[in-house]
């Protein structure tokens, strides 16, 4: 018998591959913790050790994909160490990409010998709802979004499923299997677990505080009432179960002293904060547009331009009104500090400053600014960028496309016959369709693409480094899959389609012309019968 046909060898190979994937998860958990802590020598050592463990297992068990990823991650970590622990935007981007690829590796079904880049091998979501038919329909909805779900009919079935395999998450109705029994079952399921399972509760009726408190004590991280919206549910599950995207704070340092700027850079870089330095204040506005910092550090006294003057110039631009400005200066006169603060500043730090103080101030200010900005630039229903910010992102992308000589495509999407949906099924169903398309686009487009809700049932997508033909193929596949979704309704299941127009940036074109061309292509798709993607032909 050929050794490749030996069943025992197959099983052994499978076991080895699972062990490698387990080690990969250990590495991803360390990476995930970077969201909550500073990039220090300790976390660096822990990350390096976890990666070396992955490389050892991958080499021992001949898992080529993981060998390649572990070596690439190791090269990035060595580059950070060789850079005296300083992070750069390039290294963060590269590490993010590698970690995301690592999170998507898994055994290919039907072929235990090879591994490939696939969506993660996801554990199922357990659905424990009183109405089994409703539970099964919800499971079908989740399948459309690529999430495996298992509807469980009874407390015994839930316990049996838990004994067999722990799920990715649990959706538990408070009164599943009897009044208050869902709370008891959920609490029972969490007992003895070192890593608690993501747990979401549901109740048809609004509940009292004792019930909510019991849900929290059972480990509940979300509580749905009334109707269950598949897109809202899956968004919450994605947040609770996915590997986080580490997005470091970005700080622009403007200081005419190269030595002082370098010192500030090193302090912030050691905490995982990405910096860019300017010694010529006159270049600040161009650098702001390109770098898009979360926070600006200004020296107060510079020969060609005082920090207070530059702060005024920055504040004249509406786009940078909410970006925190911190003065970092040797000036210790309190009255002068207060005067400077009134000129567009948010804080004043006096040199010399302890590194820990500088890091804490920057982190706190940047975190608050990000939270505020997210509320300002995002649509409340979908979480996508709003109309105004989408156009600003398009302008930024146009600038970079011109500078780097790369293609740029803009797409407009409109849900077909949406007024009919609202009139026939009601506005809550219309909102459900809008939210599900928003989620569908977020799941299937790249992190580097920008998705906005243009207004009503209309969406816009900015696709950097992408030509019109490629963009049209991607969006057409999304269109085809979106049309397969069925929304349960009393009048009969509803399915929706969308029409899409695509336009590519050409020499000398501004964003108004580009968006107009995408809009024209979208209406061409509408006139052509809807449920299609059209490219604007210049």
What does the pLDDT look like over 167-211, one tens digit per residue?
888 999 999 989 989 999 999 998 888 778 889 999 988 778 888
Domains of the chain: 3-117 (no CATH), 125-241 (3.40.50.2300), 250-376 (3.40.50.2300), 387-535 (3.30.70.270)
Mean pLDDT of the chain: 83
* Helix axis angle, 511-527 to 387-404, nearest 10°: 110
- Is pLDDT at 232 greater than 50 in this prediction? yes
End-to-end Cα separation, the chain, in angstroms: 63
Q: Are 400 and 419 a contacting pair, CB within 8 Å?
A: no
Q: What is the model's pLDDT at position 147?
A: 77
Sorting pLDDT into bands at 50, 70 and 90, what band is 157?
Answer: very high
pTM (global) more than 0.75: no
What is the percent of the chain with per-residue pLDDT over 90, rounded to a whole number?
A: 33
What is the distance between the alpha carbons of residues 323 and 246, in angstroms, rounded to a whole number?
21
Question: Which burial class, exposed, middle or buried, applies to 248 when counting CB atoms under 10 A from its CB (0-12, 13-18, 19+)?
Answer: buried
What is the distance between the alpha carbons of residues 126 and 335, in angstroms, rounded to a whole number?
62
Q: Are 276 and 293 a contacting pair, CB within 8 Å?
A: yes
The phi and psi torsions of 378 (rounded to 5 degrees) equal: -115, 150
- What does 286-347 look like in DSSP terms, one character per residue? HHHHHH--SEEEE-S--SSS-HHHHHHHHHTSGGGTTS-EEEEES---HHHHHHHHTTT-SE
Q: Are 514 and 505 a contacting pair, CB within 8 Å?
A: yes
Instruction: Give the length of the chain.
Output: 538
Element (H, E) at 367: helix 355-377
Q: What is the pLDDT of residues 79-129, one digit of tens each?
A: 888 877 666 767 777 887 788 778 766 433 333 323 333 334 357 899 999
Q: Which of 98, 161, 79 is nearest to 127 (CA)?
A: 161
Mean pLDDT for 265-292 is 84
What is the distance between the alpha carbons of residues 349 and 355, in angstroms, rounded to a whole number?
11
Question: Which burial class, exposed, middle or buried, applies to 371 when counting CB atoms under 10 A from its CB (0-12, 13-18, 19+)?
Answer: exposed
More confident residue, 457 or 120: 457
Element (H, E) at 89: helix 89-103
More confident residue, 39 or 508: 508
Q: What is the model's pLDDT at position 245?
A: 57
Q: Are 530 and 497 a contacting pair, CB within 8 Å?
A: yes
Q: What is the pLDDT of residues 303-328, one digit of tens each?
A: 777 877 888 888 888 788 889 998 88
Q: What is the pLDDT of residues 343-385, one digit of tens each?
A: 777 788 878 888 889 998 999 999 888 888 878 888 888 889 9
Q: What is the pLDDT of residues 264-273, one digit of tens each?
A: 888 888 777 8
Contacts of 177 (CB under 8 A, 6+ apart): 128, 154, 155, 158, 185
Range name among 61-65, 244-248, 273-277 with the lowest pLDDT average: 244-248
């Amino acid at each position: 018998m050929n050794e490749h046909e030996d069943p025992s060898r197959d099983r052994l190979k499978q076991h080895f591959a699972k062990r490698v994937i387990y080690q990969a998860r250990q590495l991803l958990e360390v990476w995930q913790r970077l969201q909550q802590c500073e990039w220090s020598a300790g976390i660096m050592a822990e990350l390096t050790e976890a990666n070396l463990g992955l490389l050892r297992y991958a080499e021992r068990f001949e898992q080529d994909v993981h060998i390649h990823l572990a070596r690439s991650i190791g090269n990035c970590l060595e580059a950070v160490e060789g850079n005296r622990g300083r992070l750069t935007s390039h290294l963060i981007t590269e590490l993010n990409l590698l970690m995301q690829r690592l999170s998507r590796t898994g055994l290919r079904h039907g072929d235990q010998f090879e591994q490939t880049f696939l969506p993660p091998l996801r554990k199922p979501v357990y659905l424990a709802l009183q109405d089994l038919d409703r539970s099964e329909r919800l499971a079908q909805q989740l399948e459309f979004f690529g999430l495996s779900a298992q509807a469980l009919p009874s407390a015994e079935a839930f316990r049996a499923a838990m004994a067999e395999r722990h799920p990715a998450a649990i959706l538990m109705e408070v009164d599943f299997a009897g009044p208050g029994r869902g709370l008891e079952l959920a609490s029972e399921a969490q007992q003895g677990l070192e890593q608690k399972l993501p747990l979401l509760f549901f109740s048809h009726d609004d509940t009292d505080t004792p019930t909510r408190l019991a849900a929290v004590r059972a480990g509940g991280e979300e509580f749905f009432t009334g109707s269950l919206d598949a897109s809202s549910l899956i968004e919450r599950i994605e947040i609770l179960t996915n590997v986080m995207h580490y997005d470091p704070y970005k700080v622009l340092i403007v200081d005419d002293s190269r030595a002082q700027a370098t010192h500030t850079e090193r302090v912030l870089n050691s905490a995982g904060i990405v910096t860019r330095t300017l010694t010529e204040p006159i270049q600040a506005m161009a650098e702001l547009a390109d770098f898009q910092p979360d926070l600006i550090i200004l020296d107060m006294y510079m020969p060609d331009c005082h920090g207070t003057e530059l702060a005024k110039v920055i504040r004249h631009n509406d786009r940078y009104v909410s970006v925190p400005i911190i003065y970092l200066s040797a000036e210790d006169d309190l009255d002068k500090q207060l005067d400077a603060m009134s000129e567009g500043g948010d804080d004043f730090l006096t040199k010399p400053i302890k590194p820990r103080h500088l890091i804490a101030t920057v982190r706190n200010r940047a975190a608050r600014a990000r939270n505020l900005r997210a509320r300002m630039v995002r649509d409340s229903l979908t979480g996508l960028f709003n109309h105004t910010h989408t156009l600003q992102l398009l302008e930024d992308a146009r600038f970079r496309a011109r500078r780097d000589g790369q293609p740029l495509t803009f797409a407009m999407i409109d849900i077909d016959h949406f007024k009919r949906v609202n009139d026939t099924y009601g506005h809550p169903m219309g909102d459900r369709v809008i939210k599900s398309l928003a989620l569908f686009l977020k799941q299937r487009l790249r992190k580097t693409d920008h998705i906005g809700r243009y207004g009503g049932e209309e969406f816009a997508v900015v696709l950097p480094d992408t030509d019109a033909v490629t963009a049209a193929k991607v969006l057409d596949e999304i269109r085809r899959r979106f049309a397969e979704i069925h929304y349960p309704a009393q009048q009969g299941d509803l399915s929706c389609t969308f029409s899409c127009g695509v336009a590519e940036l050409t020499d000398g074109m501004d964003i108004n012309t580009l968006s107009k061309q995408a809009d024209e292509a979208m209406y061409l798709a509408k006139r052509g019968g809807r449920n299609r993607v059209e490219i604007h032909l210049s």
